[in-house]
Every structure is written in C-alpha cells, then in structure tokens.
Structure 1
C-alpha cells in the first residue's frame, strides 16, 4: 500500500510548545529556545496501525482570541492538534477560541482534532488540571492527551492519535460512540 499523504496543523497560543512538540517528534530533540514561529512545515514518514504516512506538519504562528486565522489553515489540512500549556490559563482560553473558528469553517463532525495539554513536566506551575483538559475534550468529543516535549512524554502518541482519528473519520466513524483519552 502506498503511503497516504496527510497534513496536520498545530494550533494554539504562542509559547505553548507547538514547535517543541513537532521538533521532538520529527527530529527527536528538544529545543527550548525557538524563535516565535512565522510558519513552518515539517515532514516525517511514519507508520501507524499498519498504514504508512507521509506526514506534513504545519507549525502555525501562535494564535490569540483576536487572530484572523488564514484561509490556508483550513484548506488541505486533514487534522488539527490544538495545544495549550498546563501552566497558562490564557492558552486554555485561546484553544477554545481556535476550536470554534475551525468548527465554523469546517463543520463539527468532519474535522479530526486532538486536544493537547503541553508542559506537563511543569508540575508546580500547573494551573489547568488534567480534569479541566479532559472535560473540554469530552465536550468537543475529541481525544485528549497531556504531553511534555521536554521529557518526550506522549509526543509520539499525539501523532498516532491524530492519524487514528483521521482514519476513523475517513472511514465514516463519527466518534460519537466512544471518546478515548490518554493522559
């Protein structure tokens, strides 16, 4: 079977670690200081569930509640990873705003989304509980994970989860029946 090409966009407030998660996955390294992203696309060949993928990951410039999200973030994007940081209330609010924008553009049932709480290694700075993240994901009926780019914790799972979610949607499973969450 030839590899399937899939394009994923990572979205969320600035400095939540979108670039760090992507670079950790693609290059197996943690970059702590990374210039605020203009927009960057990373590619990786991967295999999930017996299917090969040529993955293109769009690292978007950070959004906030006032951002006009460019049209390009809605065209030819197969799935979204919405990232907030567990130590930032603001980033948690912004991710809700980004979700609403995506749903406005793409419709609720069609778009594969995974919610990620990043920086779970910052145990003492946490302001968003695992429960808060899980509740939000359940209200959207999307998978939820907490990750740490720094500790390389659950980073691969994010990509496996979004690819599996895309596959389910492509096969006509709306995901209404079950919601899986990994934290």
Structure 2
C-alpha cells in the first residue's frame, strides 16, 4: 500500500509546548529555548498497524481567545492536536475556545479528528489543571485525551498515533494490522 499523507495542526495558547512536542516527536530531542512560532511545518513518516503515514505537522502560532484563526488552519488539515499546559489554567480555557472556533470554521458538529493534550505533566509542583479536568473535557468532546511531557519524552509518540487513528476513524477506516513501529 502506498503511504497515506496526513496534515495535522497543533493548536493552543502560546508557550504550552506545541513546538517542543513537535520537535521531540520528529527529531527526538527537547529544545529548551525556542523562538515563538509564526508557523512551521515538520514532516515524519511512521508505520502504524501495517500502514505507512507521511505526517505533515503544522506547528501553529499560539492562539488566545481573541485571535482570528487563519483559514489555512482549517483548509487541508486532517486532524488537530489541541494542547494546553497543565501549569496554566488560562491555556486550558483557551483550548476550549479554539475547539469551538474549530467546530464553527469546519461546520461540523461531530467527527472532527481531535486529540486533547495536557503538556508539561512533569511540572507536578506547578500544576493548575487536574488530570480529571482534562479527561472530563475530552470526554465531553468525545475525543482522546493524553497528558504528556515533551521535556521527558513522555507519551509524545502516543499523541501522534492517537490523532492518526482519530483521522482514520473519521474517514471510516482503520489501519489493518496490529502493532506499531516508528521509523
């Protein structure tokens, strides 16, 4: 089977770690200092359940509740990773607004492939958003939820596997074989 191409946008408030998650996944290292993103695209090929995928990861600029989201964030994007930081309740509130804008722009009530991610779970002493709150929000949206740490490379790969599976489910198919490898 030929590889399937998937475009995935990472969205969320500024400084929640969208770029760190992306770089950790694509390049296998954590970047301590990173210039705020305007928009950057990364590519990585993975094999998941017997199917090869070429992932184009669109690392977006940080959003806030008032930002106008560019049309490019909605055109030709197959799935969305919505990221908040567990040490910022503001970023959790913003991700809810981004999700609502996403539904409005897509014109779809259900079925938009989304994974909700609480990043920076290594910052246990600074936590403002309990795990249960993230799980509850994801459940209300009927989307997968994952807490991660880009710094410690915790659950980073899982996020991207989950979004690919959500895209496949939304398109009415699932990869055939079990087991997953990253190349």
TM-score normalized by the length of structure 1 = 0.93
- Aligned residue number for residue 154 of structure 2: 153
CA offset digits 1:85-142 (Å, max 9, x no partner): 0000110000000000001111122310000000000000001000000000001000
Whether 2:32 is the aligned partner of 1:32: answer yes
Q: How far apart in 1 are the matches of 2:129 and 2:48?
A: 30
Q: How far apart in 2 are the matches of 1:47 and 1:172?
A: 16
How far residue 148 of structure 1 moved from its aligned partner, in angstroms, is: 0.2
Deviation >4 Å, runs of 4+: none
How far residue 172 of structure 1 moved from its aligned partner, in angstroms, is: 6.7
Where does structure 2 lack aligned partners over 5 or more consecutive residues? 175-183
**Structure 1 segment 27-66 matched on structure 2, within 5 A:** 27-66=27-66
Q: How far apart in 2 are the matches of 1:38 and 1:96?
A: 21
SS class of match (1:127): coil
Q: How far apart in 2 are the matches of 1:121 and 1:127?
A: 12
Where does structure 1 lack aligned partners over 5 or more consecutive residues? 174-183
SS class of match (1:66): coil
CA offset digits 1:6-34 (Å, max 9, x no partner): 00000000000000000000000000110
- Aligned residue number for residue 124 of structure 1: 125
**Structure 1 segment 3-152 matched on structure 2, within 5 A:** 3-106=3-106, 107-152=108-153
Count of matched residue pairs: 173
Q: How far apart in 1 are the matches of 2:100 and 2:168?
A: 22
SS class of match (1:117): strand
Q: How far apart in 1 are the matches of 2:48 and 2:135?
A: 24
TM-score normalized by the length of structure 2 = 0.93
Q: How far apart in 1 are the matches of 2:110 and 2:173?
A: 10
